Structure 1
Amino acid sequence: TVNPESIASLTGSLDLARTLFFVSSKSGTTVEPLSLESHFRSSLYAIATATGSGTGPGPSSPAPGSGAGRRNFVALTDPGTPLSERARAGEFGTWVATPEDVGGRFSALSAFGMMPAAAAGMDLHRFAESAALMAQQCQGDAKGNPGLQLGAFLAANALEGRDKVTLITPPEHAIFGMWVEQLLAESTGKEGKGLVPIAGEPLLQPESYGNDRQFVVIETARSEELQFQQTAGELESAGHPVLVVKASGPDKHGVAGEFFRWQFATAAAASLMDIYPFDQPDVEAAKIRARELLSDLDQDLDTVPLADALRSLEDIVPPAYVALIAFLPESANLTGAFSSLRRAISEKTGVATTFGYGPRYLHSIGQLYKGGPRNAVVLGFVSGKYDDLAVPGASYTFGQLSLAQAGGDFAVMAERGQKVMPIRLGDSRTENPSRELIDATEQVFG
């Protein structure tokens, strides 16, 4: 996130001197992690100055050339990037070189995924064993190859018009669904084609789903097996294609096997759909537009009233879908309000919905929105008020960065043929954006 309210809240909740920060960027230039790094280095510098425990956190801090807090930062980036050069110059406690020939969304089993997993206490031997076992299984022929079976299912249904890959997961796999969302969207969402991953959607009655859906039900040892079997059976009875995937392993280490299964499946599906899965040609356009907006901070974002935007959705039908984007401080209440809106939209219209917080979605499903099928209706929510929080060393605040990223991406999506409606949610008169969204949902959809 670069939302100033979220950053300020997180900063206040952490014991910064005892916190390890992973600064991860393949290119070494990604604006979000570098801006957050500057913020936390500056915060550590302030602590060091106040306590007399050091002279500053490093060359990018307000006090150049010093070392307090340096050990708190680990750089993960490819060799030869600006971030790696800073690491070589001694600005980080550790630099981990990441593989240049592995794309970001395929890097969960590289240092980008393994280092945080190790820091969180995962047993890397068991983690790697799970991935190796799945890799071995994916070497076989089609009948016994779990990755190829999944990829063929995804592609075959998409080629018949069922491109909305709806993931049904137990609660413990909810975050995994977000990872799959990025993998599918960035790998296939280009040249006007692509798989549209639907993750985190409320479970609906079978008749509320359109004929553009396919379902992947992820079943774990801990999930309620009978409940999942019943859900899969009801969907199949309603005529929807369903694939039940039994997750690897009995515990959390099994997720490594699922990483490999889905990466293999994504590459296979893309090949069957005649899509090259290893680039993301439309991501850079939004970054360029955001930089242009940051150079002219007087530009404003034209918005539409929330209720008017919601009413405009009442007549849409599949294969169109609604993309909800929130450049807002993430919270359980706000996520719940958007979940209620997703349910209301689908029950009223039968169309699928996606949801993501900005700017995270830019690195996830954003490629699909710009390069994939031109049938999205995008509701882009920005805050009606942004508290000022400076980005150390920059000429703009986090709030201005957030608005520039929103405005840049909204403009590029509209240029690529999507219908985009920017909406301001919450202002000086509305202290509860969740309530505002719930009230509008009830007003329009009942």
Structure 2
Amino acid sequence: MPDESMTENQALERLVSDSFASRLWNRDPSLWPEPSPGGDLTEKTLGWLGLPLQLSGLGQQFSSLHDQLVKDDFTDVVVLGMGGSSMTPLVLRDVFKEELSGAINIHTLDTVNPTMVSNLANQLDLEKTLFFVSSKSGTTVETLTLEAYFRGRLSPSEDLPADRRNWLALTDPGTPLSERARAGEFGTWVSTPQDVGGRFSALTPFGMMPAAAIGLGLTKFAESATAMAQRCNENDVDNPGLVLGAFLAANMLAGRDKVTLITSEKYSSLGMWIDQLLAESTGKNGSGLIPVTGEPLLDPDRYGDDRQFVFFNDEGEEGLDDFASDLGKAGHPVHVIESTDSSPYQVAGEFFRWQVATAAASSVLGIYPFNQPDVEAAKVKARELLVAPGIEIEYASLDTAIDEIKNALPTCYVAIAAFLHESDELTSEFSRLRLAISNITRLATTFGYGPRYLHSTGQLYKGGPQNAIVLGFVSGKYDHLAVPGESYTFGELTRAQAGGDFMVMSEGGQKVIPIEVGADPIVDLKTVIQKLAE
């Protein structure tokens, strides 16, 4: 059992004295407890440790991919995937926004929202688009549904088969998707490593092949990741992975389970990736670190005593360093990650730092970090709802939602789950809602669009501490868009996923408040914000 009085220095000293780093690199499973049901043996999940050295080989393998796509007259790449299979391309698109040539545009579709699906299809020249069908298991329902839709758009007639050149499969060996690839349904099939879990797969082809497609240099990623791996290989107090892991674990043991990440604007999307890594790795058996990312900044005295802060201010963004200092003066624990490189390629090193830190923190906390035992329950419930006669969600009133938020205990947090059409305007309005909640109640807030969060923080919401107030936003009417070969529509699939997850969370003890919004959700959010202030 972890020592609940352990300080950050004591946690770090324990990791060093226990030779955590060398045992990690030797794949020692005794660093963590036995996996709960749904987990793999540790030696089957630590392949990510060798990825930095393997990345140079990937760089050589995919070095000509971008130029070949341009030569073949492709203009766009679309990654169809969920969770770890698509999160890294999302992050890299934003981090490298200023560096991309624009010769090949990248899009990541990790939703079955019908408006978003049809909008993307309508804006692309589909014959000049390469589709990555990315699924570790080869059975991900959202991914395969999206693939079926776009194949139908490319080949509206059975007499006109799809051109295989538009299709690339990324999946583990032996999966149903790999068998289809072997049968010739894809122009290219790239095998992904079986001993690397989805949330640890940033440096595998799931993350790196889309990067190569848009012209990013995998050799530079390899240099950054290898440098960080070497620093994380030492059993000493300067090991950056151990330092961060000790900080996370000790503060959680002290009751500060809300890990609040604050970054410069350039790296803001890194938070989505960290969300999944921390939430799925530690959020189980009634415990877990709660990542809080993308939250608007508050005055230091508006943060509760359940917070710990991690800063990554790579470009010295004005005001952030002073803000970190002010938080420390206010008594909040603050860990500042020093930038290792002025280049955005340093993100590869950050991927590795956080993976080691998560493994180390989990060891201190007595948590097995390589499974996600509570994810499947929501999938099962969603399938049940899809075959049921009508999908009914019992919605709450706005007044009920406001009362629950205002009467929450100070150790609670508000988790916003939005099964809505993602847009910059709507995301900004949700940020204003988060700001209003925190200013009025001092509660931490998390936010995610569905179904993306199901493959990210969903494990935490179902298997972690039952101290969330979940505001689930669902549209009253989704656009009608048929799913090829199925009796249901994309909208019905979205509603079933929302209803299934809400039911499972509620059955597990979370306070879930489903809210139905109209054609313009921003109007409804403004009403919630106004009522909060009353």
Normalized against structure 1, the TM-score is what? Answer: 0.93
Contact 1:122 1:253 in 2 (8 A): no
Q: Which residue of 1 aligns with 2:525?
A: 437
SS at match of 1:377: strand
Distance in 2, matches of 1:26 and 1:316, equals 39
Q: Which residue of 2 aligns with 1:13?
A: 123
Matches within 5 A, 1:113-152: 113-152=207-246
Task: Write the deviation string for residues 176-205 of structure 1: whole angstroms up to 9, x where unpaired.
Answer: 111001000000000001000001000111
Q: Which residue of 2 aligns with 1:80?
A: 174
In the alignment, is residue 389 of structure 1 matched against residue 516 of structure 2?
no
Distance in 1, matches of 2:492 and 2:359, equals 37
Distance in 2, matches of 1:223 and 1:307, equals 42
Task: Write the deviation string for residues 250-307 of structure 1: whole angstroms up to 9, x where unpaired.
Answer: 2221110001000000000011100000000000010000011111142311101234
RMSD: 1.2
Matches within 5 A, 1:197-216: 197-216=291-310
Q: Which residue of 2 aligns with 1:186?
A: 280
Contact 1:187 1:276 in 2 (8 A): yes
Matches within 5 A, 1:23-422: 23-46=133-156, 55-56=159-160, 66=161, 68-220=162-314, 222-224=315-317, 227-422=319-514
Contact 1:130 1:254 in 2 (8 A): yes
Distance in 2, matches of 1:142 and 1:10, equals 49
Distance in 1, matches of 2:389 and 2:491, equals 11
SS at match of 1:167: strand
Deviation at 1:443, TM superposition (A): 2.7
Deviation at 1:55, TM superposition (A): 4.2
SS at match of 2:371: coil
Contact 1:167 1:177 in 2 (8 A): yes
Contact 1:317 1:350 in 2 (8 A): no
Task: Write the deviation string for residues 34-75 of structure 1: whole angstroms up to 9, x where unpaired.
Answer: 1111111111113xx6xxxx943xxxxxxxxx3x33211111
Deviation at 1:333, TM superposition (A): 1.2
Letter matched to residue 134 of structure 2? S
Deviation at 1:388, TM superposition (A): 1.0
Identify the range of structure 1 (76-85 vs 5-14) with the bigger mean alpha-carbon deviation. 5-14
Q: Which residue of 1 aligns with 2:113?
A: 3
Contact 1:77 1:96 in 2 (8 A): yes
Task: Write the deviation string for residues 290-340 of structure 1: whole angstroms up to 9, x where unpaired.
Answer: 011111142311101234312321121321001000000001111111111
Contact 1:247 1:258 in 2 (8 A): no
Distance in 2, matches of 1:12 and 1:391, equals 16
**Unpaired runs of at least 5, structure 2:** 1-110
SS at match of 2:526: helix
Task: Write the deviation string for residues 59-107 of structure 1: whole angstroms up to 9, x where unpaired.
Answer: xxxxxxx3x3321111111111100000000111111111111100000
Contact 2:208 2:218 in 1 (8 A): yes
Deviation at 1:17, TM superposition (A): 1.1
Distance in 1, matches of 2:527 and 2:210, equals 40
Letter matched to residue 433 of structure 1? P
Distance in 1, matches of 2:399 and 2:133, equals 40
Distance in 2, matches of 1:294 and 1:247, equals 47
Distance in 2, matches of 1:444 and 1:88, equals 56
Task: Write the deviation string for residues 331-366 of structure 1: whole angstroms up to 9, x where unpaired.
Answer: 111111111110111111111000000000000000
SS at match of 1:142: coil
SS at match of 2:247: helix
Contact 1:297 1:400 in 2 (8 A): no
Deviation at 1:21, TM superposition (A): 1.1
Identify the range of structure 1 (291-300 vs 205-214) with the bigger mean alpha-carbon deviation. 291-300
Contact 1:248 1:258 in 2 (8 A): no
Deviation at 1:433, TM superposition (A): 1.2
Q: Which residue of 1 aligns with 2:32?
A: none
Contact 1:188 1:275 in 2 (8 A): yes
Contact 1:201 1:353 in 2 (8 A): yes
**How much identity, in percent, do the aligned residues show?**
61
Distance in 1, matches of 2:341 and 2:276, equals 23
SS at match of 1:343: helix
Distance in 2, matches of 1:75 and 1:96, equals 6
Contact 1:191 1:372 in 2 (8 A): yes
Distance in 2, matches of 1:172 and 1:310, equals 34
Distance in 1, matches of 2:460 and 2:443, equals 17
SS at match of 2:445: strand
Task: Write the deviation string for residues 219-253 of structure 1: whole angstroms up to 9, x where unpaired.
Answer: 20x242x5222011110011000000123322221
Task: Write the deviation string for residues 89-129 of structure 1: whole angstroms up to 9, x where unpaired.
Answer: 01111111111111000000111111111112110001111
Contact 1:79 1:100 in 2 (8 A): yes
**Unpaired runs of at least 5, structure 1:** 57-65
Runs (4+) of structure 1 exceeding 4 A deviation are: none
Contact 2:402 2:531 in 1 (8 A): no
Contact 1:293 1:299 in 2 (8 A): yes
Letter matched to residue 298 of structure 1? G
Letter matched to residue 203 of structure 2? L
Contact 1:142 1:149 in 2 (8 A): no
Contact 1:307 1:444 in 2 (8 A): no
